[in-house]
Amino acid sequence: MPAKDDVLTIGEVAARSGHATSAIRFYEDEGLIVAARTPAGHRTYRRHVLRRLAFIRSAQRVGLTLDEIRDLLAVLPAERAPTKAQWGSLSRAMRRRLDARMAELEQLRETLTSCIGCGCLSLRSCPLSNPGDEAARRGAGARYWLGDDPDDVVADAAARAQ
């Protein structure tokens, strides 16, 4: 059984973490944090949940989704504070995700820089241009950003026109 000063109410967790109580309940529903119940049904949290909430906030600020955060937190024990080795494992996994996210952001920065120069978003060389929404035939999402070749899309459209 945890020490009395190791148990926090949802209001105390909200005050300490900066999260709204509704967000704390949501994270519990999503399985990101764990609460215990008093005999009266009130939520209580072990103090170590503050670390998990700080991690969740940091991960969201760098653009990770809740699914990504859930995957990262899966290496940590939910019922107690993690060990140094467990935090190290999470850190290595997060580093890989952050490196990939940084590469995506750098690609976006470089793409937008070239577009700002022309201002029209209609040049054939623009990786964001998609006249007639031809790229949609290849599937959902930003097809060129995902790696589809604009020349292949144009060739497909020309073949359909014949």
Q: What is the pLDDT of residues 76-113, one digit of tens each?
A: 877 787 888 888 888 888 888 889 888 988 887 877 76
Q: Which residue has the tokens 């850190």?
A: 91
Structural tokens at position 89: 């494992």
**What's the fold here for domain 4-112?**
Multidrug-efflux Transporter Regulator; Chain: A; Domain 2 (1.10.1660)
- Cα 49 to Cα 52: distance, rounded to the nearest angstrom: 5
Q: What's the pTM?
A: 0.64
Give residues with Cβ within 8 angstroms of 65, minimum separation 6. Answer: none
Domain extent listing, the chain: 4-112, 120-162
Q: What is the largest CA-CA distance in the chain?
A: 77
| Residue 117, pLDDT score | 57
Q: Which residue has the tokens 């309940």?
A: 25
Lowest mean pLDDT among 3-7, 20-24, 47-51, 118-122: 118-122
- Please check the confidence at residue 143 and state whether its pLDDT lies above 60: yes
Give residues with Cβ within 8 angstroms of 133, minimum separation 6. Answer: none
